[in-house]
Amino acid sequence: MLEKFIPRLRVNTVYDIDLEALYAQGYRGIITDLDNTLVGAKEPHATPELVAWLETAKQAGFQVVIVSNNDEGRVSLFTKPLGIPFVHAARKPRRKPFRKALSLMNLSAAQTVVIGDQMLTDVFGGNRTGLYTILVLPIAAADEGVMTQFNRRMEKVILRRLRKKGLWHEEEQR
């Protein structure tokens, strides 16, 4: 059970992900969280750096879908200018929103990675859907809502147990 919270890869930011290596391994789809993964939770729009990264991902041969637990207003305002499909009010870690994203891309779980900043929603949900899970450090943890703050406390408990079992190594974070 505890293993389901372990990401396949840990990086500091989305910009540290080696997209070409993922492509070479057969991945074609990126399901990404929004808040504190792509931009801070209070940031309404994409930064120029993020716009460039999304373009790079497309050029590299990836389809991208944003899957967020946030509401339609927030997610559509952010996503529409980018021309990227999205799933809002996703209720991750449920499998349904991940499967919906896969069908939007017409890809299988084995061809798709999920990027997110939360172990309880993004990583757990991605792992149980059979996706390659990538955990990033949260961009602006100070701005998080009550539910996320609760999840962060749970993360700490899970991390403590994973470390105790020797399943989590600090030096892996890049």
User: Three-state SS for 29?
Assistant: strand
Query: Shortest Cβ distance from residue 41 to Mg ion (Å)?
Result: 7
Could you give the strand order of the β-sheet that contains 9-10, starting from the edge strand earlier in sequence? 9-10, 132-135, 112-116, 29-32, 63-67, 86-87
Q: Give which of 75, 142, 118, 68 is closest to 98, Cα–Cα.
A: 68
User: Of residues 52-111, which lie at the interface with Mg ion (CB under 5 A)?
Assistant: none
Query: Shortest Cβ distance from residue 174 to Mg ion (Å)?
Result: 19
Look at strands 29-32 and 63-67 and give their pairing: parallel
Bridge partners, 64 (sequence order): 30
Instruction: Measure Cα distances from 75 to 61, 78, 94, 104, 126 in Å.
Output: 24, 5, 18, 16, 19
Please pick, from the candidates 117, 123, 125, 136, the single residue that binds Mg ion as defined by CB under 5 A: 117
CB of 28 or CB of 68, closer to Mg ion: 68
* Number of shown-chain residues binding Mg ion (CB under 5 A): 5
144 scored as a contact of Mg ion (CB under 5 A):
no
Site string for Mg ion, 7-46 (x = CB under 5 A): --------------------------x-xxx---------
According to DSSP, residue 26 is labeled T
CB of 29 or CB of 122, closer to Mg ion: 122
CB of 35 or CB of 168, closer to Mg ion: 35
Q: Tell me which residues touch Mg ion (CB under 5 A).
A: 33, 35-37, 117
